[in-house]
Structure 1
Amino acid sequence: MTTSNVAESATTSNVAESAMLSGVIPPVCTPMTPDYEVDTASMTRLVDHLIDGGVDALFVLGSSSEVAYLTDAQRRTVLDTVVGHVGGQVPVLAGVIDMTTPRVLEHARVAVEAGVSGLVATAPFYTRTHPGEIRTHFRTLAARAGLPVYAYDLPVSVHTKLSADLLLGLAAEGALAGVKDSSGDDGGLRQVILGREAPFSVLTGSEVTVDSALWMGADGVVPGLGNVDPQGYVELYRCAARGDWEAARAEQERLVRLFEIVHVGGTRMGGSSSGLGAFKAALHLRGVIDCPITALPQTPLNDDEVGRIGKLLATAGLL
């Protein structure tokens, strides 16, 4: 069978055999030691912190996991550590994010061997791609991997917006089980929600508009800030699920104020350094991880910035 034929052979079986994902699915941070290796002891404590907080699934090797900074060996360490420690308590999704289809397929092979429940992939990047090539990318991954595949719509990083037509078409074929929408395009998100017919999980990646996304009909949230305050996002989701939108709004507004931690780095550093550094600093202050270091070449937060994060945590009732 040729690559083209394999790419066209994805069926609805992957989706039909898997449950729809919903609820709170944090993209798990990757704690590191001072010499930039994966801190497996801190990682297992973080997993316990999240599961104890009531989350519905875990997403490792995403943007908040610093996947772009990890070596292949470090990615495998994360997979083995988390899947082994979770022991089936909740589903574990693995990011298989890379530039082109062959590289993504290799990451998928390793993730499947590790025992994950599903795969998360962006569109190809670095190379200039056409929507037809993006379709081939997701069809091939779905056909080869044998697990549910979730698209990660992240145009700020991959420079391609996944259209509603593309996502819904792949969903109808069974090539996609859902989408994590981190595009910031609420109109596009609504198009996907309104247009879906096949089973298809719509998950917002925005920490600060979860209540409105759930009100529109989204199934859940993948919040980086959920590492810091999983209970808060679980409470927000539960309020929305029972139709208590006033309580959901109040919890969302508390989380919006807490989200200010990602801005403490200001213009002194890149957005990744400020945001991921803030999540790790907060986890360190809360006693969950041993070291708040972020991967090179990200700029570390200084003592004053960490102090400001501590004040925001205290205001949110987390210290």
Structure 2
Amino acid sequence: MNGVIPPVCTPMTPDGEVDAASLVRLVDHLLAGGVDALFVLGSSSEVAYLTDAQRAVVLDTVAGHVAGQVPVLAGVIDMTTPRMLEHAAVARAKGADALVATAPFYTRTHPVEIRTHFRILAGKSGLPVYAYDLPVSVHTKLTADLLLELASEGVLAGVKDSSGDDGGLREVILRRQAGFSVLTGSEVTVDAALWMGADGVVPGLGNVDPSGYVSLYRAARQGDWEAARAEQERLVRLFEIVRVGGRRMGGSSSGLGAFKAALHLRGVIDHPTTALPQVPLDADEIGRVGKLLAAAGLL
């Protein structure tokens, strides 16, 4: 797996249900931007806030609408292996091409348990599994030794690295064998990750500006690092939208609220609603998102 793989936001109606019509428009917006695959039910999809029924609506809507145009990766993120296996069975039935899974969480897990978890998930799901390295939420860092051992067994097809550990990312890239895909989850250091040898990017901001990340990726693949850096710097300035909520709310409320506000301002989704109990952006904060969009040439 390589290229630009945005973690698709989940548009919602004002009463908190999945807005399938807006989700279809968002998928079309991403495909028109030239993305290489779609990742649903990840952090930017607000997966932690969705019911199982809402997860199913997202999978049905996206996989059904994409209809094989690009691969669809489905997050099966949950606290335990048995629950992730249930999500994996649903994802496979609804047409997902691969799974994205964290280590188990809530209880702290030993590396032996994490290895067992991924082996069971890969063995029983029948789909390629990508590890999601997200220590800020899972409280476990997936080490290079663990990832590459599981890759050598054929358990893992790749990793989405959202750890913020650039040294660890580089170690995985340097030591991996052919066929193991390394994807960065950082919006703001994509050019550096690609220069190190990463295969692609999974950027939440890619919902807002998919063509920007596609341009960055293509410039890097062509060896035009000056163009890649210039596009990355434009996207870094646009990424300031995630901070408009300031200290009035948590980072998730501010960041996901900003992505949805931007998509609403761009006419892609009907409502900027985020799932409870996240704090919504106010009119002034949404206005600041609009100014940053305009500065980036998106309004």
Q: Give 1:36's aligned residue.
A: 16
| TM-score between both structures, scaled by the size of structure 1 | 0.93
2:96 partner SS: coil
Cα distance in structure 2, aligned partners of 1:306 and 1:139: 44
Q: What is aligned with 2:40?
A: 60
Matches within 5 A, 1:135-154: 135-154=115-134
What displacement does 1:198 show? 4.1
**Following TM superposition, by how much is the alpha carbon of 1:95 offset from its aligned partner in structure 2, in angstroms?**
0.1
Q: Summarize deviations over 1:28-60 as a string: whole Å, max 9, x none.
A: 000000110000000000000000000000000
Matched with 1:25 is 5
| Secondary structure in structure 2 of the residue aligned to 1:157 | helix
Among candidates 144, 152, 168, match of residue 164 of structure 1: 144
Correspondence list, 1:1-319, <5 A: 21-319=1-299
Question: How big is the shift at 1:251?
Answer: 0.1
TM-score, length-scaled by structure 2? 1.00
Distance between the aligned counterparts of 1:128 and 1:28, measured in 2? 29
Q: CA deviation at 1:128?
A: 1.3
Q: Distance in 1 between matches of 2:95 and 2:242?
A: 33
Q: 1:171–1:198: 8 Å Cα contact kept in structure 2?
A: no
List runs of 5+ in structure 2 lacking aligned partners: none
Equivalences, count: 299
**Which stretch shows the higher mean deviation, 190-199 or 88-97?**
190-199
Structure 1 CA distance for aligned equivalents of residues 208 and 73 of structure 2: 19
SS in 1 for 2:73: strand
The letter of the residue matching 2:82 is: P
Displacement of 1:110 in angstroms is 0.4
Give the superposition deviation at 1:197: 1.3
Q: Deviations over 1:48-83 (max 9, x none)?
A: 000000000000000000000000000000000000
Q: Distance in 2 between matches of 1:197 and 1:99?
A: 30
Q: How far apart in 1 are the matches of 2:103 and 2:129?
A: 12
Q: Distance in 2 between matches of 1:144 and 1:186?
A: 32
The secondary structure found in structure 2 opposite 1:215 is helix
- The sequence identity of aligned pairs, in percent, is 84
Please provide the CA RMSD for this pair: 0.4
Name the aligned partner's letter for residue 285 of structure 1. L
